[in-house]
Amino acid sequence: MGDVPDDHPRAQSLRMRARIEEHRATGLVAETGPIAHGRGEAFDYLIGERTPDPVFEDIETAAAILLEAERPVISVNGNTAVLVAEEIIALSSSIPAALEVNVFYGRTQSREAQIADFLRSKGALAVLGVDPQAKVPHLTSARGMVDREGIYAADVVLVPLEDGDRTQALIKWGKKVISIDLNPLSRTALDSTLNLCDNVVRAVPLLEKAVRELRGDEDRLRRLSKNVNNRRSTGRVLEFISTRLNSLAHDMTQTNESPM
């Protein structure tokens, strides 16, 4: 991380990448974690590396769903732990929601325990998902093993940063899934009850703030959670991206500057 000077125009992004790389070496992040991160970076460029305007409302809606849940659970994989450990722990105590380690790659008790220990070292009091014994019906991947006290019994599961087979299985099982995925067209994003198309490093603190602000406002909570429509939310994000790209293209094609 020492290689990145403070005045580098992309210092923050390079530091995040360095964290992922450092923890890939320790095994906390999966071998393919840096690829997933790079995919996220590419989509982040498309939205301008800021929370898209329509996603602020989606974040409020997600906060309402989490506050109204009876047994909300936050699922944590390697990339999420490394990028937002403290923020996800703060969110879990604000809601409150249980934290459960759930990984796809190299699922062994030792990787689960490594992520759980990492979260505890950052202040988590309890972490579920180490050597889980329950199964998500009709899900054959490693993500299918879940904690009896956690995802198994949950009514709402927050799934940051994952593209895969689990969301659909959880939905079919009768659970609500809120995903955080920069790719609005990923399977997880499309299948979830509500996707937050934003970088997890921005979305989680905004979600925590929304949880704090909305708590106790029963009318608003009911109105927000009744109004969930993931297709409409995804459509608004796609419109946001296309408007942004069209406007950039327009500015660039209208410029009178001559090529170097």
In the complex, residue closest to ligand PTJ by CB: 40
Contact set for ligand PTJ, span 37-96 (CB under 6 A): 37, 39-40, 43, 77-79, 83
Contact 72, 154 (CB under 8 A): yes
| Longest alpha-carbon distance in the chain | 65
Q: x/- binding map, residues 201-240, to ligand PTJ, per CB under 6 A? A: ----------------------------------------
How many helices, marked H, and strands, marked E, lie in the chain?
Answer: 10, 7
Helix 218-226 to helix 200-214 angle (10° resolution) is 130
**Amino acid sitting at position 108:** T
Query: Looking at 15, 19, 105, 205, which residue binds ligand PTJ (CB under 6 A)?
Result: 105
Residues 236, 241, 244, 246: what is their CA dihedral angle, to the nearest 10 degrees? -110
Q: Which is nearer to ligand PTJ, 199 or 230 (CB)?
A: 199
Reduced to 3 states, what is the DSSP secondary structure of residue 88? helix
Contact 59, 206 (CB under 8 A): yes
> Is 30 a residue that touches ligand PTJ (CB under 6 A)?
yes
CB of 149 to ligand PTJ, least distance (A): 20
CB of 190 to ligand PTJ, least distance (A): 11
> Is 192 a residue that touches ligand PTJ (CB under 6 A)?
no
Distance CA 219, CA 221 (A): 5
Supply the DSSP string of 181-197, one letter for each residue: -S-TTSHHHHHSSEEE-
Reduced to 3 states, what is the DSSP secondary structure of residue 153? helix
Q: How many CB atoms lie within 10 A of CB 61?
A: 26
> Is 118 a residue that touches ligand PTJ (CB under 6 A)?
no
CB of 192 to ligand PTJ, least distance (A): 12
Name the residue with tokens 């936050």: 74
> Is 186 a residue that touches ligand PTJ (CB under 6 A)?
yes
> Is 182 a residue that touches ligand PTJ (CB under 6 A)?
yes
Q: Which is nearer to ligand PTJ, 202 or 236 (CB)?
A: 202
> Is 33 a residue that touches ligand PTJ (CB under 6 A)?
yes
CB of 118 to ligand PTJ, least distance (A): 12
Binding positions for ligand PTJ, rule: CB under 6 A: 30, 32-33, 36-37, 39-40, 43, 77-79, 83, 103-105, 161-164, 180-183, 186, 199-200
